[in-house]
Amino acid sequence: MKSIKGVACGLLLSSSLLYSQVDIDGEIRLRFEYFNNMNEKYYGTHPKIGKSNDSYLLTRLRLGFTYQFDEQWKAKISLQDTRALGWGFDNSDWYNKEFGQEHNPQRDYLELHQTYLQYQNKNITASIGRQKIAYGDNRVFGPGEWKNSGKWVWDAVKISLKEESNFLDFFYGRTMLHDPNKLSLEHRHGYYGGGIYGHYAYRKTAAIEPIFAYKQNEKSNEIYIALESYYMGLRLYDTDLYGYFYDMTYLKSFGDYSKLDKTTVDIDGVGVHVDGGYHLKSLKIKVGLGYTYASGDNPKTSKRETFDGAFGASDKYYGRLNLMAWSNLKDYELFTVIKPMSKTKVKIEYHRFYAVEPSNKWKSYTITSMQNDHYGDEIDIVTTYQYHQNINLMLGLSYFNSGDFIEEASTKNSFITSNNAYGVFTQFQYKF
């Protein structure tokens, strides 16, 4: 009986492999970046680490194989190699105090990328393994793909329930850390976490999306003893309401934060984003206004009120120089998107940035007793050209005019100067 079962299983496996479909995908991305009077960690002409005028080439190579065993089962295996040539940082500069090891956003030397097993039918998709988890506009859950290595990569289990265009997803797992000198399977993960994300379309162009997220790190480290944070919120948007558009996200954070002195405080943060505007369709122009808020920690209260953005990407939302994140921030934005040709898109943004609590952390600095709150103003121009179905080209220019916050900070920290800053990038991307 056992031999019969073994033969049957062997025949089933052989037939599955015989009739399986193998697809190959990949990416070659090259991006040159230049920053003047700033770098990835520090601002001004006298950075503590790195160069104040930093120019480098980012390379990202990805190759993946997807095995479609039958109509319901498939497996994916992929690798990536990311490098930063001429970058003003060593790998050791990215030692992370929260995780006790290097966590580098730009370098992964021949690393395992998306690798998972997936089952799918008409209404259910279940996957287990290494995967990207992204929803909505990527503000709450997003891979952070602008970073060379990707900001958030998960080893997780995810289940998606779908009915037409509506879905409800559940996932739980651990976030990957990026140590270029070690394969990720050989070292620890970052956070344990999970979430629930729904999507209900009440119009063809509009939807409501309930959000829940969970983040935990119970390994004592150089910053805190333990972190257990929850997030609950909602996204509501319409991309075309008689020519108008809007997009609103609200997220509340709560939980427990155990400090190094063994006292535990409540987490009580808020993150908000609202934007809206109008499509001038005859001119192929979209104009809009935006406002982003993220609470900072009020030193007069016992709670921890700094909002940390959950598992979202921040690379393109709060200025393209990446001086700001969805934390301790007020961002007033004016933007326009122009499509002068079918394959060309130009986005122009103006941001005015303020700190909610000036003495909270900004970039790699924490400066006590700050009085001024205006970080500064940034103008960004990004042009995208779809040269070919598989080839995308980008050019970006950014200029930051420092405000009174940075002027005051430069008098209290010798590694900060109040100079203005600018950046340039150009990118080539080929996907197949």
For the stretch 238-252, pLDDT in tens is 999 999 999 999 999
The span from the CA of 217 to the CA of 308, in Å, is 14
Question: What is the reported pTM?
Answer: 0.92
Does a structural domain hold residue 19?
no
User: Which residue segment(s) compose the domain that 398 sits in?
Assistant: 28-431
Does a structural domain hold residue 6?
no
Residue 430 has pLDDT above 70, yes or no: yes
What percentage of residues in the chain have a pLDDT greater than 90? 91
If one counts the domains in the chain, the total is 1
Does a structural domain hold residue 163?
yes
What percentage of residues in the chain have a pLDDT greater than 70? 95
Q: Which phi and psi angles does 2 have, rounded to 5°?
A: -65, -40
Residue 42: which pLDDT band, with cuts at 50, 70 and 90? very high
Does a structural domain hold residue 270?
yes
Closest by CA to 230, choosing from 242, 245, 214, is 214
pLDDT of residue 12: 40
Mean pLDDT of the chain: 94
pLDDT of residue 20: 62
Burial of 12 (0-12, 13-18, 19+ CB in 10 A): exposed
Does a structural domain hold residue 422?
yes
We report the CATH number of the domain holding residue 51 as 2.40.160.100
Does a structural domain hold residue 10?
no
pLDDT of residue 92: 94
Residue 21: which pLDDT band, with cuts at 50, 70 and 90? confident
CA distances from 3 to 11, 13, 74, 101, 107 (A): 12, 15, 28, 50, 50
The span from the CA of 210 to the CA of 251, in Å, is 10
CB 233 within 8 A of CB 292: no
pLDDT of residue 316: 85
Does a structural domain hold residue 100?
yes
pLDDT of residue 81: 98
Q: Between these two residues, 20 and 117, which has the higher pLDDT value?
A: 117
Residue 216 has pLDDT above 50, yes or no: yes
Residue 419 has pLDDT above 50, yes or no: yes
Residue 2 has pLDDT above 70, yes or no: no
Q: Which residues contact 42 (CB under 8 A, 6 or more apart)?
A: 48, 49, 50, 52, 363, 364, 365, 415, 416
Does a structural domain hold residue 12?
no
Residue 299 has, within 13 A of its CA and on its CB side, a CA count of: 9
Per residue in 333-368, pLDDT (tens digit) is 999 999 999 999 999 999 999 999 999 989 989 898
Per residue in 220-270, pLDDT (tens digit) is 999 999 999 999 999 999 999 999 999 999 999 999 999 999 999 999 999
pLDDT of residue 275: 98
Residue 287 has pLDDT above 60, yes or no: yes
Rounded average pLDDT over 19-48:
93
Residue 3: which pLDDT band, with cuts at 50, 70 and 90? very low
Rounded average pLDDT over 323-341:
97
Rounded average pLDDT over 165-187:
96
